[in-house]
Structures are given as C-alpha cells and as structure tokens.
C-alpha cells in the first residue's frame, strides 16, 4: 500500500479536496509514485497494490482517464490495483468499475471506512461489490452523530460495522482472500489487534 504526500485527513472536506489522484495539481508527482510502486510491487512478486484513489464519481472523466492509465501500467507488470471502499457508496464504486471494466482493477473492502464516511451499510455493500473484492480490512467504527463530520474508529466488534453479521455476509460471497486487521487509533492498539485476531479465529473455528 502507498499513500500520497498531499492528503489531509483533518476533516471530510479536506480529504475530499486532497485525497488520492483526484487533485490536478498533484497528478504528475502522484502518477510517478504509483508507476514506481507498481514496478516495486512486481519486483517483489506481490500481486496487489492498494492506495486511496480519492472520492470517486462516474462523471469525472479526468479521474477515469487517470485510473485507466495506472491500471494499464499495472496490467503490463502483472499487478492488480485495489481501490479501497469508503469515500463513495458501494453502488457508485461498482458503477465506476463496471464502466472501466479493467482487469487490473479490484477492491480492498474496508467496512469501517463506509461507517466513517457515512456511505452505507458494509454487510449490504459486500453483495454489490463481491466480484471485485480481493482483500478485506478488519476495522470497526462508530458513525458520526453530525452530518459532514468524521465518525470514530474503534476496536473490532465494538462499533457499527456489526462484526459477526459482516463476517457472515463476507463468507456468503465466497471470499477466500486475506483478512488484514487494521487499527489506526486508540491507546491499546496491540491489545485491540490481539482481540480482533481471537474473534476471527473463533468465528472461523
């Protein structure tokens, strides 16, 4: 996974303006970063490269052209680019992926991001995106009580993702890839990660 220098996660508005490869001012430097990362990913023998693409919409032709350019570069190197969920609804992301129909594009499903950005129910979104999901983050969050503001990341199983329901729905999709526990906040991250691992082990028997 890679990130971009210009990204500002202070508020939903700042990340909307600075996230991913949407910004015209940063496209050239970000394009080089992604292309270099594709080459590195291929040299390591890894299959997937994930990064925040930014707020997706189906009418932004410049963004679609950029995504296609990067996906073409990834395809030549035998790499698949993973678009992380959250900054748009599952339906919007599905429409974007269907429109491009590129074999080097897939999804990293982050259920907490959908809660943090207020973009829908993760379990229901799994069905919409199921054919593109290649990697899943195990992360939880609480919705914000105020529109236009961040929710809060919390330990797995204590937020609004609905861990057991989500894992059950994920199993129904036939997903057999990696589950990566992600904990970016809190003062007891190691303990939270350990607890999440125990929950996953218990769920999968």
Indicate the average pLDDT of the chain: 94
Q: What structural domains and CATH numbers belong to the chain?
A: 1-109 (3.20.20.150), 119-205 (no CATH)
Contacts of residue 135, defined as CB under 8 A and 6 or more positions apart, other chains included, come to 48, 50, 82, 107, 108, 109, 177, 178, 180
Prediction pTM value: 0.93
Reported as a single tens digit per residue, the pLDDT across 121-170 is 999 999 999 999 999 999 999 999 888 889 999 999 999 999 999 999 99
| C-alpha triplet 183, 172, 91: angle, nearest 5° | 70
């Amino acid at each position: 996974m890679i990130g971009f220098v210009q990204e500002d996660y202070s508020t939903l508005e700042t990340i909307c303006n600075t996230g991913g490869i949407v910004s015209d001012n940063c496209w050239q430097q970000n394009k080089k970063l992604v292309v270099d990362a594709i080459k590195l990913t291929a040299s390591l023998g890894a299959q997937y490269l994930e990064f925040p693409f930014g707020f997706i919409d189906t009418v932004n032709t410049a963004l679609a052209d950029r995504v296609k350019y990067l996906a073409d570069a990834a395809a030549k190197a035998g790499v698949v680019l993973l678009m992380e969920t959250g900054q748009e609804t599952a339906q919007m992301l599905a429409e974007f992926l269907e429109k491009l129909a590129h074999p080097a594009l897939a999804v990293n499903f982050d259920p907490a991001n959908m809660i943090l950005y207020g973009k829908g129910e993760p379990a229901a979104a799994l069905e919409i995106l199921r054919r593109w999901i290649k990697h899943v983050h195990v992360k939880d969050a609480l919705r914000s009580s105020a529109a236009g503001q961040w929710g809060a990341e919390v330990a797995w199983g204590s937020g609004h993702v609905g861990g057991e329901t989500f894992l059950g729905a994920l199993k129904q999709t036939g997903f057999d890839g990696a589950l990566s526990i992600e904990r970016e906040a809190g003062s007891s991250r190691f303990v939270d990660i350990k607890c999440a691992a125990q929950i996953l082990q218990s769920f999968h028997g």
